[in-house]
Amino acid sequence: MTIDIGRFGEAPGPDVEAPGDNPGQEQKPPELVYGSAEEFLHEQLLPTYVRDVDGRAAKWCLEWYFHPEAVSRVEALWRSWEHLRLDGATGISVWFRDHADHHMGVLLDPRGPFYKCDMQKHRDPEHLEPKKAPAGWFPDVRTIPA
């Protein structure tokens, strides 16, 4: 039996030169498999990272894109996947261990970014509203001479 792991195992196309093929020439970056974090989520992540999302042990919001943390984490998962897919030896393992398991654990956590939502209804998350620190406590390092 063969298990489909999506498009992770695809090698770079013929347009990608191996390092050292043409010294002194600028190398073309590998072509992306997915054009956006949303495409990656629908085509790769959710079909391969299957969990029982019952609202008690795991939560998801069908309108995940209204949650800034979720968008940021899905974007991070997509970008790391695009990079690590090129490592045919351990890339998939590293991606699952260091990226998918970590971020999906946070996203699916009942106390995570979807804590107010249920499978039928999105509810806007409550944003933290911290006070500004007293002036001078956090100077803008961009204005400090090197």
Answer whether 33's CB lies under 8 Å from 82's CB: yes
The CA-based angle 51-100-83, given to 5 degrees, is: 140
Residue type, 15: D
Report the interhelical angle of 68-84 vs 101-108 (nearest 10°): 160
Q: How far apart are CA 92 and CA 69, in angstroms?
A: 24
User: In Å, how far are 43, 118, 146 from 140, measured between CA atoms?
Assistant: 41, 41, 13
Digit-by-digit pLDDT tens for the chain (146 residues) are 444 555 655 545 444 445 555 667 788 889 999 999 999 999 999 999 999 998 889 999 999 999 999 999 999 999 999 999 999 999 999 999 999 999 999 999 999 999 999 878 898 888 778 889 999 999 898 998 87
Q: Which helix (H) or strand (E) holds 37?
A: helix 37-40
